[in-house]
Structure 1
Amino acid sequence: MKFISWNVNGLRAVLKKNFYDVISALDADWFCLQETKMQAGQVELELPGYHQYFNYAERKGYSGTAIFTKHEPDNVTYGIGVPEYDTEGRVITLSYPNFYVITVYVPNSGTELKRLDFRQGFDVAFREYTSKLAAEKPVIYCGDLNVAHQIIDLKNPTSNHHNAGFTDEERTDFTAQLDAGFTDTFRYFYPEQKDIYSWWSYRFGARKRNAGWRIDYFVTSKDLDDRITDAQIHTDILGSDHCPVELDTANLLEG
């Protein structure tokens, strides 16, 4: 089974570029999007065979998530049950008999780390949320986590230390998430792989120089370690400042 996660940096914008081509080429069972930056009714997507679910931020043109799937879930929930975070459209959870699928857009700590406290609060609440679900059945979550976990996860770790996405606090919080019983699937398969990133600034020709960050992830319950088969980062796919990331698994719908 194939799962794709992509921060599209504006769904309406990428629709004018290569969105349908990417959807067709990757042909995933689940497409999980972040930063859709839209409200209900602003677009109608032609995705035959896919069930569509959206979570919109109250603030227009901001944040937002979506999941498109070939497999209708038993239940869909929006947010994590914490009003402080649920106004920004950051989480969608699909429930299946044997597992959960979650798309998440983790808050950016912002310029001068003005939102670091908010972001850390989200990290704690999201860890509690995923741990509670994982106690029931395995969890697959994906998205723009806005953190480069290890030094090899960004091109310039020294100059970016203490910048948003590479603070000690954010990295420690992600370590705590993994220690709670989860697997960073790309590092599971490629623990030493360098120079593979999922986001590049639009400034200074960063993508041409591959001066990027790996901040988009698939994270799974350790219970699924023997059922995940590969993880990929599609660095060749344009259309956003992020590229899609992929997780491949055995057929989880069969139990």
Structure 2
Amino acid sequence: MEGQASGVLPMAKPLSVCHGMGKYEHDQEGRLITAEYATLYVVNAYIPNSGEGLKRLDYRLQQWDVHFAEYLQQLAAKKPVLLTGDLNCAHQEIDIHAPKKNLRSPGFTQEERDSFSKLLIGGGFTDAWRRQHPEITGYTYWNYRFNTRTSNKGWRLDYFLVSETLLEQVHDCFHLTDFMGSDHCPVGLVLRH
């Protein structure tokens, strides 16, 4: 859509910027941007949606998630990683309105949630927003077709996952829910020096 975009708004110029993870089958969809800074990598991802009827679930779980986890591990071996973006998974029941009704919906299948835990959280990352707000329901996506934003019947699909070595530097993680212009709201993270 014209006038809409996704990305990272950094407060400092990166040393380098890389598009993709070096795997053609994934990179052709333009889902990944990595900015390298002196002390960390910032990875902005738009994880593939499993699609209507879960037609892309196997691709997501068996290919994308596996290769993406390998890519993140390669980066993390060099310096800490801050992963952000639309990860297309409501990780826990608190992250989605009406979880019982959505158990086989793309973005909330048990398989996607298990993969999220295994490949991202289990790979040395922490969900910065959930760590600061363990009991709070906070959504970042609302379905336009059903006008769910007005009733706040949403999903939390947008995250900041940080390497454990960055946890003490996380000052704030927040959702800008009053910002309109998309079916997602912006998310923000403030790091201390």
Name the TM-score, length of structure 2 as normaliser.
Answer: 0.95
Q: Give, in whole Å, the separation in 1 of the partners of 2:166 and 2:115.
A: 22
User: Does 2:128 match 1:185?
Assistant: yes
User: Does 2:98 match 1:108?
Assistant: no
Q: After the TM superposition, which residues 206-245 of structure 1 pair with which residues of structure 2 at under 5 Å, given as runs?
A: 206-245=148-187
Overall identity of the aligned pairs, in %: 46
Per-residue deviation at 1:203?
2.0
CA RMSD after TM alignment? 1.2
Q: 1:155 to 1:180 in 2, by over 3 A?
A: same
Which residue does the alignment assign to 2:3? Answer: 13
Which SS does the other structure have where 2:50 is aligned? coil
Q: Give, in whole Å, the separation in 2 of the partners of 1:72 and 1:163.
A: 39
Name the TM-score, length of structure 1 as normaliser.
Answer: 0.72
Q: Give, in whole Å, the separation in 2 of the partners of 1:204 and 1:180.
A: 36
Residues 67 and 92, structure 1, Cα contact 8 Å, conserved in 2:
no
Residues 143 and 216, structure 1, Cα contact 8 Å, conserved in 2:
yes
Per-residue deviation at 1:232?
0.5
Q: Give, in whole Å, the separation in 2 of the partners of 1:210 and 1:68.
A: 26
Residues 235 and 243, structure 1, Cα contact 8 Å, conserved in 2:
yes
Amino acid at match of 1:131: Q
Q: Give, in whole Å, the separation in 1 of the partners of 2:57 and 2:11.
A: 36
**1:59-104 CA distance string (max 9 Å, x none):** xxxxxxx444342221211101111100010001111111001110
Which of the numbers 120, 125, 139 marks the counterpart of 2:67?
125
Which SS does the other structure have where 1:141 is aligned? strand
Which residue does the alignment assign to 1:20? Answer: none
Q: After the TM superposition, which residues 54-93 of structure 1 pair with which residues of structure 2 at under 5 Å, given as runs?
A: 66-93=7-34
Amino acid at match of 1:238: M
User: Does 2:140 match 1:198?
Assistant: yes
Amino acid at match of 1:192: E
Q: Identify the structure with the greater strand proportion.
A: 1
Structure with bigger gyration radius: 1
**Higher relative CO (CA 8 A, sep ≥ 6), structure 1 or 2?**
1
Which SS does the other structure have where 1:246 is aligned? strand
Amino acid at match of 1:249: L
Give the ranges of 4+ consecutive aligned residues of structure 1 lying more than 4 Å apart after TM superposition: none
Q: Give, in whole Å, the separation in 1 of the partners of 2:10 and 2:140.
A: 22
Which runs of 5 or more structure 2 residues have no equivalent in the other structure?
Answer: none
Per-residue deviation at 1:134?
0.7
Residues 146 and 216, structure 1, Cα contact 8 Å, conserved in 2:
yes
Q: After the TM superposition, which residues 39-58 of structure 1 pair with which residues of structure 2 at under 5 Å, given as runs?
A: none
Residue correspondences, number: 191
Which of the numbers 70, 78, 84 marks the counterpart of 1:142?
84
